[in-house]
Structure formats: C-alpha cells, structure tokens
Structure 1
Amino acid sequence: MRLHRNLVLAVIESLSQIFNQKKQADKIVAITLKQDKRWGARDRSFVAETIYEIVRWQRLYAKLAGVEKEFQSKDYSNKNLFQLFSIWAILKEIELPVWEEFEGINYDKEKINKEYQELQEDRKYRESIPDWLDGLGGKELGNEIWTKEIAALNNQAPVVLRVNTLKTNLNKLQKQLSEQNIETKKIAQNNTEYPEALQLVKRKSIVRNQLYKDGFFEIQDASSQLIAHFLDVEEENKKGLQIIDTCAGAGGKSLHIASLLKNKGQITAMDIYENKLIELRKRANRADVHNIKTYAIKREGKTVDYNQFKPFYNSADRVLIDAPCSGLGVLSRNPDAKWKLSLDFLEEIKQTQQNILQEYSKMTKKGGKLVYATCSILPSENQNQIEIFLKSKVGSGFKFIEDKKILSYQTGFDGFYMALLERV
C-alpha cells in the first residue's frame, strides 16, 4: 500500500483536533472528508478508517511508540502524532515513505511486533482502555463478561439501515440497493427479530445515495431499532396514541415510532438542543412523517426548570426516556468516548438519569407505559436506576413489566438497555 501525503496529513490534523482539542471524532471525520472534492471513495475510506483506528487503539499505540507520558497528559506534539501513525503502519505492514515528518522515527519492527504480542496479555493495553474503566467494567459486569464485551466494542461497527415503511418495504429496498451493487442482508438472531433492519454486507458510506436522500431509509443500529417496538404501539387499536419522546435528539427513534404508527396519533419530540430538533424536522420531511411536533426544553445553563412540563403531566399513552448516559455501549462507533469519560462524569450522569426518570415519568397517564433506555452496558446506569426509581414516591405508581439487556459480544451490534414500566 502506497501512502499519499495529503491523506496522511489530513489524518494527522484530525487526530490533533480529537486528542489535543477534545473535539468529537465523528464530527471531525465528517468535516475532514469534505475538505478535498478530488478524493475518491478509497481515499475517503482510508482517511476515516485510519483516524478511527488510531483513536480506538490510542493507548496501545502510545505504549508501543514510547509516548505514554504524552498519552496521560493528552498533549501530543506533531511528531508524537506521526509516531502513533508509524506504529499503525508497522502493525499493518505498510512501508513508511521517506518524508521529513518521519525523520528520526526509526522503530525496530521486530521489537514492536514482539512488544505488541506481550501487551496482549494485559487487558487494559490489549483493548486500549483507561485503568479506571477497566476496573469499573470488571466490577459491574464481572471479569468474564467484561473481557468479552470490551473486545466486541473494539470491533468496527456494522452499517445497519432502517427501512422507512411509510415509503417502501424491506424486500423492495433490498432489491433496489442490490440493483446499485449495494448488497445487504436481513437480520434475525437469538430469537430477536429486526423487521425493518438491513445490514450492509460490505461496509461503505451510503449517505450520498439517492434512496437515502429521498427518505427511503435511515442509518440506525439494529439494537436501537428495538426500542420503538418495545414501546408497544403497533396494534391497530393503538394508532391514536399520544407519545412523548423526552430526549429525542435528532429524532431517529421518533421517526421509527411514526412509521410504526403509520403517521397516526401524535408524537411530541423534546430535547434541550434546538439544533437537533431542527435536524429532526428536516428528517421528518424527507421521510414523509407528519405526526411529530417538537418542543425545545428551556433551561438556564445546565439547569432545567421542570415546571415547564406540568401541562404534559398525565397526558401521554407512551413516554420514551432515551436517557443521557456514558455511551459505553456504542464505543465501536464512538471510540473517542473512552478517552473523554471519567468517574466524576459517570456519577454526575447517574444523578441526571434519576432526576429525568423522576420528572419525565409524570407525563405518563394512568394505564400508560414508560420506556427507560440507554446506550450503556453498566448496570449502575440501567437496572439499578430502575430499582431506585420504583422504590421512590413517584416510582411507586409504576410497575415493572420487563427489560432487555443487549451486549455487543452477543449480537455484534451496539450495547443497549431498555425497561418497560406501566403506570398503575
């Protein structure tokens, strides 16, 4: 494989912004891929995948490169970043070009490969994770499950599509994509059905595809697609439901619910970020969804005034709380998250989760149902939060029906949790 200078420099600049400026990897990758219109699909793939690989294996590469001190301080020089890139290239058996940026970087390939094999015996290096996270995962999940799960979360995430059944169906879309030489497969595993899901056989970017632009499908992980079904909205006599999606974001789950309701009923999509709701409205228009209205949650700084929700109390047949969380279940697609998380943040987010449960649950009418969901794999963010809620004054008005714990090592998809409660 021949390395091209402009592509490598794009990778290095992106890594600098992700590591040193603490910017989100997915946003930086998206911006980087737009900077040169001359890049073909192979160039774009090289840039994106190389960035993500070096981000994912940052600690391991820093150890092999002899820059672990810089890793700890999160302050890489340009030379350090080229050293990380050099380790990536050596492990990929790619010959480094004779460029000035690589001058003085002369690693012994045999020594690097030997040390790499030795580090495979130490989980925190093998899986490239912080010490505190390794300890926490083992404590909450048990060492055997944690070992399997963190290995699975270091795999590249598959690309899964959700068919928009308001405009097409699974078989028709699969045929249309096949005619464009985009091969997909249906998903069914472990007695779990994914009725709107198609997985790309060969990973590729698909957001420029006209079928995507015309709203025939969305990109949504298979685990995430289970949540709308978990709300129990699909029977014909439930098409007039009032539904509130309290942490809607850009609306992936709201759009899925709308398609299951066949544009009947009413969905109120709430979020603290107005820009995400603007994106939701654009996506809804593209998908021919007409039963979603948005509500921008007002706040002062980080503080939400929960009094604004009083008009919504006891109004919804279904309430979805897709709560903010650590995001540990989606490390395969957001590997930079493990370098930004901390124990202090986890404690803060757990308090936020319980506050949201206590307040947003009040929107559920008697006989209505509430789904609490996270893209975390930690019991402390999931079933423990439900146990605390049910023992509280507000939670005593609900009964537990069922929950699902989805782990990546079992499915190959994102780690998720969802609990279904009913207000009695």
Structure 2
Amino acid sequence: MKLHRNLVFATIDSLNQIFNEGKQADKVLRHTLRLDKRWGSRDRSFIAETTYDIVRWKRLYAEIAEVREPFDRANLFRLFAVWATLSGIKIPDWKQFEDTPTRRIKGRFDELSKIRKYRESIPDWMDELGEKELGKKWDKEIAALNQLADVVLRVNTLKTTLENLQNELADLNIETETIPGYPNALKLKERANVFITDAFKNGLFEVQDASSQKVAEMLDAKPGMRVVDACAGAGGKSLHIATMMENKGQLIAMDIYENKLNELKRRARRNDIFNIETRVIDSTKVIKKLAEKADKVLIDAPCSGLGVLKRNPDSKWKLQPEFLDSIRNTQKELLDSYSRMVKPGGDLVYATCSILPSENEKQVKSFLAREEGKDFSLLKEEKILPSKSGFDGFYISLLRKAEKVEK
C-alpha cells in the first residue's frame, strides 16, 4: 500500500482532535470525511479505519513509540509510524518520518505483547477491574472487545422482509448474511456506507448490533399493550419494540434529554412508526403519573459501556473509575424508581451494554432484596459475552411483578 500525504495528514488531524481536544471519534470522523469531495470510498475507509486503529491501540503504540500525552504533531506521526510498520506498510521518505526505527518497533511490540495491559491497550485501572470482576474470563473478553465490530442491520418488519431487504442491498453490491438465532438481523460481509442507500432513507432497516436486538425480544411486547422505554435515548430499541407491537398499542419513550427524543421522532417517521409517544423526564411527576400503569417497562440503563468497546474504542480513554461508582448508584436509583411503573402481573426488563457483574446481575440481586423490588421475581437473564457471540457485550434480565392478592 502506498501512503498518500493528504490522507495521512487528515488522519493526523483527526487524532489530534480526539486525543488532545477530547472530541468524540465518530463526530470527528464525520466532519473529517466531508472535507474533500474528491475522496472516494477507499480514501474515506483508510482515514476512518486507520484513525480508529490508532485510537484502539493508543497505549500500546505510545509505549512502543516512547511518547506521552499530550501528543504534539511529531508524536502523532510517531504513533502513525508504529501503526504503519506493524501493518506491514512501507514508511514513505517524508521528513515527518525521518529516522523511524522499524526494527525497534517490531522488537518492542513482541516484548510488550507479553503484558496484558499493553497487549490489549487499556488503562491500568480497567485491567485490574476486569480481572477482579471476571477473573480468568477477562483475558478472552478484552481481546474480543479489541476486534473490529461487525456492521449489523435490523430489518424493519413493518415495511419489508429480511429476504427482500437482502435482495435489494445485493442489487447495490452490498452483500449480507443472516445470523442464526437473530430473526431480523443481517450482517454485512464487507463494510459499506449503508446510510446513503434508498433502503435506509425509506426506513427499511436500522443499524443495530445483534446483541442489542436481543433486548426487545426479551421484553416481548405485544400489539395493544402499554409499554414504557424508560431510558430511550435516540430510540434504537424503541423502534424495535414498536415493530414488535405492529404499531398497535402505546409505546411511551422517555429520557432526560429532549434532543435525543427529537432524534427518535425523526427516526420513527422514517420507519413509518406512529405508536410512540415521547416524554421528557423533567421531574418525578412524570414517573408517578405512570405508577402501575405499564404492561412492560424497559430500563436500558446508562452504564460503563464496557461491552461496546469494539465500536467505541475512544471510550477506553475517556472512562474514569469514579464514573463507574457514580453510574452504579444511578442504576440502583433507576431500578427503584422506574420499576414503580410496572403494573401487577407486568414485566420489567433491565439491560446494560456492560459485561461487569457489578452493573448487571449484582444490581438485579440487590434490587430484589430491597423493599422496592420485593414484589418482583427474576424469570430469566442472559449474559452475552463478546468472546462467545462475536458481537457486543450485553446483560438482559426479565423480572415479573406479582399479581395483587385480593383480601
């Protein structure tokens, strides 16, 4: 592969914004990839994939290159040189790459690969936490979370079928394959920009990881029910629930952020979904009004996001141990508060995109032992580990509230 100066410089500029200015990788790349209309799909792929690669392996590459944050421009080029050398790409004869010690890079890589925190490129505290919570499983899970995430689509069954969508995409040379055990999922065989297709613009599918699709399936909402998605965000799971309800019944999508709910409304229109009502949680009254009125409640709780590192590698560097303590408290409060909306005989699903027991099964066990959870019982739970599924790490539990006993 020959390196092109404008693509390399665009990558360096992106890394500078992510590492030194604290910007989100996906937002930085969305902006970067619009800078030059002459770039083709290969050019864009090079910038995006190289940037994500260097973000993912930041600690390892920095250790090999012997550079420390904040990275000045010269240090960013040293990180790039490490990436290129380990990728088997010839370093060009540019002044930015003068005296690149190719042999030393490979030697340092072999040496550091024997130490997990460098091999998997993670902060010390995260490595210690993973081992503490998962024991020997941590090795396999963090290795799996450093793999490139697949692009998975969820078919909008209100508008098309899996087979029809697969054929429509094939006509555009976008090849997909079905995934056993995931009835509405299609996995791309090769990465492609599916957002520019008419199929996406017409709401025939959403991009949603296979593990995430399991959440609505566990909730199992039926047409005509009243369902609450209590932490809806921009609504990926709300849309899936609404399709399962066949647009019949009421789906109340709630969140503390109005801008996310506005995005959900836009997506719902594209999907031809019209049984979703959005409500901003701006006071406790919003929850109280729905006390014991929902057939099903989903708490897709805010979490560490450790199960989705493969698609959000920059979060490894933004996440702090103090945040974990804070988010566990939030999860506890949400279970205690939002569970009140479940009517007797109704169901509650608690889910996270984390693989840590302290955010998952331990939270549920603690809830069931408290006064707020005394009427609930655990029906089933699913721990989706990236090393086994190949997809994101998730935890999903189904709890049922007891029927009221007439006195």
Do Structure 1 and Structure 2 share a fold, with TM-score over 0.5?
A: yes
- Scaled by the length of structure 2, what TM-score is found? 0.97
Partner of 1:361: 339
1:94 aligns with 2:72: no
Distance 1:10 1:315 in 2: 53
**Which one of 241, 244, 247 corresponds to residue 263 of structure 1?**
247
**What is the CA distance between 1:291 and its match in structure 2?**
0.4
Distance 2:242 2:285 in 1: 28
Aligned length: 402
Which residue identity does 2:264 align to in structure 1?
L
**Which one of 251, 257, 265 corresponds to residue 235 of structure 2?**
251
Partner of 1:149: 141
Q: Deviations over 1:357-376 (max 9, x none)?
A: 11111111111100000000
Distance 2:198 2:6 in 1: 29
4+ residue runs of structure 1 moved beyond 4 angstroms? none
**What is the CA distance between 1:92 and its match in structure 2?**
1.2
Partner of 1:328: 306
Partner of 1:140: 133
**Which one of 391, 412, 416 corresponds to residue 369 of structure 2?**
391
Distance 2:41 2:345 in 1: 52
**What is the CA distance between 1:107 and its match in structure 2?**
2.7
Which residue identity does 1:93 align to in structure 2?
G
Partner of 1:379: 357
**Aligned-pair RMSD on alpha carbons?**
1.0
**What is the CA distance between 1:98 and its match in structure 2?**
2.9
Distance 1:152 1:93 in 2: 23
**What is the CA distance between 1:216 and its match in structure 2?**
0.4
**What is the CA distance between 1:108 and its match in structure 2?**
2.1
**What is the CA distance between 1:307 and its match in structure 2?**
3.5
Distance 1:226 1:195 in 2: 10
Distance 2:383 2:291 in 1: 29
Partner of 1:301: none
1:285 aligns with 2:269: yes
Q: Deviations over 1:325-368 (max 9, x none)?
A: 00000000000111111211100000011011111111111111
Q: Deviations over 1:264-284 (max 9, x none)?
A: 111011111211111111110
5 Å matches for 1:64-83? 64-67=64-67, 70=68, 74-83=69-78
1:172 aligns with 2:164: yes
1:127 aligns with 2:120: yes
5 Å matches for 1:220-235? 220-233=208-221
Distance 1:39 1:274 in 2: 36
Q: Deviations over 1:311-332 (max 9, x none)?
A: 1111110000000000000000
Is the Cα–Cα contact under 8 Å of residues 328 and 359 in structure 2 kept in the other structure? yes
Distance 2:259 2:33 in 1: 22
Distance 2:91 2:389 in 1: 37
**What is the CA distance between 1:43 and its match in structure 2?**
0.5
Higher alpha-carbon deviation: 17-26 or 374-383: 17-26
**What is the CA distance between 1:99 and its match in structure 2?**
2.8
Distance 2:319 2:263 in 1: 26
**What is the CA distance between 1:206 and its match in structure 2?**
1.2
Which stretches in structure 2 are left out of the alignment for 5+ residues?
Answer: 403-407
Percent identity reads 57
Partner of 1:212: 200
Distance 1:339 1:47 in 2: 20
Partner of 2:405: none
Distance 2:261 2:401 in 1: 28
Which residue identity does 1:8 align to in structure 2?
V
- Scaled by the length of structure 1, what TM-score is found? 0.93
Distance 1:392 1:371 in 2: 17
Higher alpha-carbon deviation: 106-115 or 116-125: 106-115
Which residue identity does 2:173 align to in structure 1?
N
**What is the CA distance between 1:383 and its match in structure 2?**
0.4
Higher alpha-carbon deviation: 58-67 or 112-121: 112-121
Is the Cα–Cα contact under 8 Å of residues 345 and 400 in structure 2 kept in the other structure? yes
**What is the CA distance between 1:214 and its match in structure 2?**
0.8
**Which one of 186, 189, 200 corresponds to residue 188 of structure 2?**
200
Distance 1:369 1:415 in 2: 23
Distance 2:288 2:29 in 1: 41
Partner of 1:39: 39
Distance 1:93 1:399 in 2: 55
SS in 2 for 1:207: helix
SS in 1 for 2:196: coil
SS in 2 for 1:417: strand
SS in 1 for 2:179: strand
Q: Deviations over 1:107-162 (max 9, x none)?
A: 3212211221121111111110111111111110112x110010000000000000
Which residue identity does 1:175 align to in structure 2?
N
Partner of 1:84: 79
SS in 1 for 2:224: coil
Is the Cα–Cα contact under 8 Å of residues 174 and 192 in structure 2 kept in the other structure? no
